[in-house]
Every structure is written in structure tokens, then in C-alpha cells.
């Protein structure tokens, strides 16, 4: 993997070096790769599947770098980085610039194109669905562990949490991006990630690493969020150890 990572870093370096968001997404990609490796070990996958999981984790945000450089946004409504990354890597065969081995390209394509969607497209075959669920969990785990705290640093304020967002959380649903209005709606949207996780590994990881406690500790308006973190703690208690 070291050679593949090095080649990928060369690709990333063509984008603006002074844009902190590029490096942010680079290190996020490395961490998601590590989460995929951990999840693969948890699932007792063989060495080929471990490698495939690593590749999907490393390249899941391939489209982000172009998106940030060209459009100066993370907003997928304007430019969907999952669609673009999957298309460029697999349909345009850019994956060959980084990996010399034969790969299960449809598995990679399905996983990357679905990793950032509200829900997984229907009718994926069993194997493609497995790796799609894996990358969706691995991505969310790193966002909750490493990204949300940075978001809170810049966006924690006294804004309200809208009723539609409260209802979505109380129903234990992933939050659709079109419901978010305020900065605090955005924070709740991250918390709702927990309701879309697939694997026991993911719940146990969040619990054992005290991820939500760390997020709560960083909040300025703790009273506003107390209910939500208490509910998440109850929810995790029903999921850990399964």
C-alpha cells in the first residue's frame, strides 16, 4: 500500500498546496483507509478483501480534491464528489495510475458512488453491498471522531435547532441535507450518523473511544444539546456488544 499511497499523494499535490482543506481531506482519506482495515479485520476477511477495503477507503474521496479546487465547495448539491470520483477512477480508468493489480472495479465503483448518498441505491449484489456498507461506516466514524470537532470550533453558536431536525433525530433517522437551516442543525446532522451505521464494530468503536463524549465536551452550548447526547448514549447501549 505504501507505493499506492505515495502515488496518490503525488496526484493530490497537483492541487493548491496552501488550501488547508486539501490536506484535511488527504489525512481524512488515510484515516478512513485505516478504519476500513480495522473493519475488514473485524469481519475476518481474507487478504484480498482486506486490500480491496484499503483501496476503497483510500480513494473514497477521490472526487473531493477536484471539487474543492474547481468549485471551492464541499457542497454535493452543486457537484457530487462521489459520482465524480467513481466515474473518474473506474469508468475513465484513472485507478490504473495508482494500482497495477487487477481489481474488482464494480465493487469499488458502487462503494464510492454510494458512500456519500443519503441511502444506498437498490439492487446491489451481496458483495458490492457489503463493501458499500463498510465505507459508509468507516467514513462516518472518522467524521465523528476527527471532523466534527473542527466544525464545532468554527460554527458552534446560539442558533436554534429547527423542528424538522428535532423530529428526524427523535425518530432515529439520518438527516437529509435539505432539512439543515442553522449551524446547530448541522451539528445534529452529524450526530444522526449514528442511526445509519451497519456494523457492531462501529458502535463499539464509538463507545470505546468516547467519541460522542469528546464532541459534547467541545460544545459551547451544552444545555441545548444535552437531550441529544443522552439519547445517543441510550441508543449506543442497545447496540454495543451485538
Structural domain spans, the chain: 1-135, 156-242
Query: What is the pTM assigned to this prediction?
Result: 0.94
Flag residues of the chain having pLDDT under 50: none
Alpha helices, H only, 78-125? 81-86, 105-114
Q: Is the CB of residue 152 less than 8 Å from the CB of residue 193?
A: no
CATH class in words for 1-135 = mainly alpha
Task: Give the pLDDT score at 241.
Answer: 66
- CA atoms of 55 and 111, how far apart (whole Å): 11
Task: Report how far apart, in Å, the C-alpha atoms of 132 and of each of 52, 114, 121, 208 are.
Answer: 12, 7, 10, 24
Task: Give the pLDDT score at 18.
Answer: 65
CB atoms near residue 214 (< 10 Å): 13
Task: Report how far apart, in Å, the C-alpha atoms of 100 and of each of 7, 40, 94 are.
Answer: 11, 22, 11
pLDDT above 90 covers a percentage of the chain that reads 79
- CA atoms of 81 and 126, how far apart (whole Å): 24
Task: Give the pLDDT score at 75.
Answer: 80
Amino acid at each position: 500500500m505504501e507505493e499506492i499511497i505515495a502515488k496518490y499523494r503525488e496526484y493530490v499535490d497537483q492541487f493548491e498546496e496552501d488550501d488547508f482543506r486539501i490536506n484535511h481531506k488527504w489525512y481524512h482519506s488515510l484515516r478512513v483507509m485505516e478504519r476500513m482495515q480495522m473493519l475488514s479485520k473485524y469481519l475476518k476477511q481474507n487478504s484480498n478483501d482486506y486490500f480491496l477495503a484499503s483501496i476503497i477507503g483510500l480513494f473514497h474521496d477521490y472526487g473531493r480534491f477536484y471539487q474543492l479546487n474547481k468549485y471551492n465547495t464541499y457542497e454535493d448539491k452543486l457537484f457530487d464528489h462521489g459520482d465524480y470520483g467513481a466515474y473518474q477512477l473506474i469508468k475513465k480508468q484513472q485507478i490504473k495510475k495508482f494500482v497495477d493489480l487487477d481489481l474488482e472495479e464494480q465493487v469499488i465503483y458502487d462503494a464510492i458512488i454510494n458512500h456519500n448518498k443519503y441511502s444506498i441505491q437498490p439492487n446491489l449484489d451481496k458483495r458490492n453491498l457489503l463493501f458499500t456498507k463498510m465505507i459508509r461506516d468507516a467514513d462516518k466514524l472518522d467524521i465523528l471522531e476527527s471532523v466534527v470537532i473542527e466544525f464545532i470550533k468554527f460554527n458552534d453558536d446560539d442558533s436554534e435547532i429547527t423542528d424538522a431536525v428535532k423530529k428526524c433525530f427523535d425518530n432515529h433517522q439520518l438527516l437529509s441535507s435539505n432539512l439543515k437551516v442553522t449551524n446547530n442543525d448541522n451539528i445534529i446532522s452529524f450526530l444522526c450518523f449514528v442511526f445509519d451505521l451497519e456494523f457492531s464494530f462501529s458502535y463499539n468503536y464509538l463507545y470505546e473511544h468516547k467519541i460522542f463524549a469528546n464532541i459534547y465536551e467541545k460544545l459551547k452550548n451544552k444545555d441545548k444539546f444535552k437531550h441529544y447526547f443522552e439519547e445517543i448514549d441510550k441508543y449506543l447501549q442497545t447496540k454495543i456488544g451485538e
